[in-house]
Amino acid sequence: MDTEGIRLFVLAADMLNITAAGRQLGLAPAVASARLSKLEKQVGSDLLHRSTRKVTLSLEGAEFLPYAREILAQEDAALAALGHGDTEVSGTLRFAASSTFAQLFIVPIVPEFLKFYPAINLELKLSDTRTNLIEGGYDLALRNYAIEDSSLKARKLAEDKRILCASPEYLAQYGTPQNPDDLIHHQMVIFMDAKPRKLLSNNGKPACTFPPRNAQERIVCDDGTSMRIATILGSGISMNSSWSIYKEIKDGSLVRVLPDYEIKDQSAIWLVYPKSNVLTAKVRVFIDFILEKIGKPPIWERST
């Protein structure tokens, strides 16, 4: 299979412009169009839909795209192993992460990373909803839950401890729960589609699940930042990762609820990538940079 044709296809899919993609590879428009047609003939499908006004990715093209990226990554890795190719780390790195985590910890360190690696470009997919790495064609993702997908490899960044909290104003108005049974009488701020988690007593015995059954779910949302803000403003009791509220706990705008009870959870913060992917130089240096800047120990556990 023509790897240069595949490289042209990946560029055209990213830019949605065959002429511009060909120009980036030094190809005239007619040559670029012919090379893509040749690739489509080889794979037996139209990878791109062309019209006089725009270029769009076909369903077959969307399915082929992550494999095309992998073919190019394998070729680059093979050349690097033989001492060929560019010595400077370069390319576009497609990274997916929770928007809440990224706003607090990833985006602030991006400018420094780009100074170290001026030939790397970042494409960031930031959302608190889950992203499929393989189908989305991402090089790397940050996930803060238990990794169960056997098609992924992962590097652990930190533990993801969850705690219950509320604002002082809310507790002054509605009272402070003294035991898990009291939660049924309180308003809840809940993350959408979150699995119930066990709340354990001091002796390790299950006390209840959070959110408790028949709880008053005043707010249900799919954005961690919005959930934190709603909790600060007195909307109810919420469960949050310690990394998302550590500043508010320190300054007193949020107070831990039921601090003597532990939330049993297997979640951790992971940097994950498809198992089939070669760990390219651009991905490796980004992982190392994040581990250095955010972990060892995590920012939210540091005393200063």
CATH class of 91-160+267-299: alpha beta
**Domain residue spans of the chain:** 3-81, 91-160+267-299, 162-264
The answer to whether the 3-81 and 162-264 domains have the same CATH topology is: no
Supply φ then ψ for residue 149, to 5 degrees: -75, 115
Residue 304 has pLDDT above 50, yes or no: no
What single-letter DSSP state applies at residue 60?
Answer: H
Residue scoring higher pLDDT (80 or 6): 6
The whole-angstrom distance between residue 86's C-alpha and the CA centroid of its chain comes to 28
Residue 134 has pLDDT above 90, yes or no: no
The stretch 68-80 carries a mean pLDDT of: 76
pLDDT band at residue 234 using 50, 70 and 90 as cut-offs:
very high
Among 269, 246, 265, smallest CA distance to 256 is for 246
Tell me the C-alpha distance between 145 and 253, whole Å.
26
Range 3-81: architecture per CATH: Orthogonal Bundle (1.10)
**Whether domain 162-264 has CATH 3.40.190.290:** yes
Residue 149 has pLDDT above 70, yes or no: no
Q: What is the pairing mode between strands 268-274 and 255-257? A: unpaired
- What pLDDT digit, counting tens, does each position of 162-209 carry? 999 999 999 999 999 998 989 999 999 999 888 888 888 876 676 788
Percent of the chain predicted with pLDDT > 90? 50
Among 119, 202, 105, smallest CA distance to 160 is for 105
